[in-house]
Structure 1
Amino acid sequence: MRLYFLCSLLLITIINCMPAAAQQGGVGLRFKVLALAEPGGHHIAYSKAARVWLDKLAADSGLAVDYIQNTDKIDDNFLQAYQLFIQLDYPPYAWKDKAVQAFEKYISTGRGGWIGFHHATLLGEFDGYPMWQWFWQFMGGIRFTNYIADFAAGKVVVEDAKHPVMKGLPASFVIEKDEWYTYDKSPRPNVHVIASVDESSYTPPSDKKMGDHPVIWTNEHYPARNIYIFMGHSPELFNNADYTRLFRNAIFWAAGQ
């Protein structure tokens, strides 16, 4: 009787310690995700919509997603718990020193995967902070120069249809609203480009163009599976089936699933 009681108590303790996402629908925990997003600003609507979508994916697929709004907690020990780091519209500056060191190690040693969206390529000198040179190299050696402030629709053209993040996507798809950053040069010589935007498709037309304009790429010079996806400004993106398929594919690929 005593053994039965002890076993029951142990089982209850294990269940209570399981992440909520892993308890729903009997789905076992597959991996843990850390999502970093700004607490305010004009990208907050996207980040809020992303959280709703991620929480549903987590419940359906056995993931556990933790959210943070600054880099205060990030260090080596903190990152060890996560198989995937998602940088949701959080810029590559104003990080705490220990977070910078831990992130660089996380990527450089392949401890986990990374997905960066939109604001992750806001590379330059902003708000009094110098450019993070390591991150500049990680993103292909590019510097932010301009953007379409009044937004435009654009056609994304897939260049590597065989890459796992493009599974189930058409040869091209339309993003109805985004800012379309431009950089001082194309990252193509330093990264593997997966998709680019057709600048002639901008609606309304814009003179803010690069010529060769990658918008989805991975840097294969780093051990960690990594992918940058430029599109990530409007919450309406989560009504776009092609975008959510891309996001879902990226999560499982970057996490090595």
Structure 2
Amino acid sequence: MKYKSVMLLLAIVVSSIGSLCAKTMAPSFDNQQKKKNVLVVGGGGSHDFDRWYKIEDTKLINTMADVNAIYTDNTDSIRFYLKTTDLLVLTNNQPISKASQVAIEKFVAQGKPLILLHAAVWYNWEDWSKYNLEYVGGGSKSHENFQEIKNIVVNTAHPINQGVSPEFTFKDELYRHEPNATGKGIDVLVISQSLETAKVYPAVFTVNHDKARIVGITLGHDEHSHLNKDYRKILINAIHWALNI
């Protein structure tokens, strides 16, 4: 009995230390500034998340005068950050703990906005079907070979497409994104067309969620997209639209 008590106490201590580290050792928002807080979450496989999402995209977001963005690849910390977050940007394909899943669901249910970049519009989490049904409106299970693709604006009136070239091309993974008829519907803003097969798929879209503004962007494998002026314009516009600023 003494052994079990000691082990239980040890487990509680370890859990408490882990939670404390998640809250105190990670980057934090500057609460002195009257800006909108944007949390960018990355990490996982098949992409250089640090280079393109932590450094490039987060730096770009922080050029906006009314926004303060930080990046983390510690998905356990999401539930702590969301208490002071105005916009959540998911780019990751690594596991998200149940506690953080619940926190994200509460965040969106409160009408807080969500932007999903590239790997985050994939079918990543078998234990979280609600994610793809309600927040992605479908998803991707495969992509074409990395090659040149054509992107075509199909809704020129939408704020996310303001200042974006009517057509632009770069090398990327063309995600075979398929809307799910049983999930939330999507409004397609930009399509990607394969120069190999001529098939087209949603590239930029909004999700018809009844409470929150949600944007999905399937583009974004590496420097060919992240350094492209139209990708960068879409990302900035999406943040403005999602935050309604």
Deviation at 1:187, TM superposition (A): 4.8
Counting only pairs closer than 5 Å after superposition, residues 22-171 of structure 1 correspond to structure 2 as 29-38=34-43, 41-44=45-48, 47-53=50-56, 54-59=58-63, 61-75=65-79, 78-88=81-91, 90-91=92-93, 94-110=95-111, 112-123=112-123, 130-149=126-145, 151-171=146-166
Q: Quick check: 2:137–2:207 contact (8 Å CA) kept in 1?
A: no
78-87 vs 59-68, which moves further: 59-68
Deviation at 1:29, TM superposition (A): 3.6
Q: 1:139 to 1:156 in 2, by over 3 A?
A: farther
1:220 paired with 2:220, answer no
- Structure 2 distance, partners of 1:144, 1:37, is 18
Deviation at 1:59, TM superposition (A): 4.8
Structure 2 alignment gaps of length 5 or more = 1-27
* TM-score normalised to structure 1 length: 0.73
Q: 1:193 to 1:47 in 2, by over 3 A?
A: farther
* TM-score normalised to structure 2 length: 0.77
- Structure 2 distance, partners of 1:214, 1:57, is 23
Matched letter for residue 138 of structure 1: E
Matched letter for residue 178 of structure 1: D
The Cα RMSD (Å) is 2.7
- Structure 2 distance, partners of 1:161, 1:145, is 28
Q: 1:109 to 1:255 in 2, by over 3 A?
A: same
- Structure 1 distance, partners of 2:100, 2:174, is 28
Q: Quick check: 2:137–2:186 contact (8 Å CA) kept in 1?
A: no
1:231 paired with 2:219, answer yes
Tell me the matched-pair count. 215
Q: Quick check: 1:164–1:253 contact (8 Å CA) kept in 2?
A: yes
Stretches of 4+ aligned residues off by more than 4 angstroms: none
**Structure showing greater relative contact order (alpha-carbon pairs closer than 8 Å, 6 or more residues apart):** 1
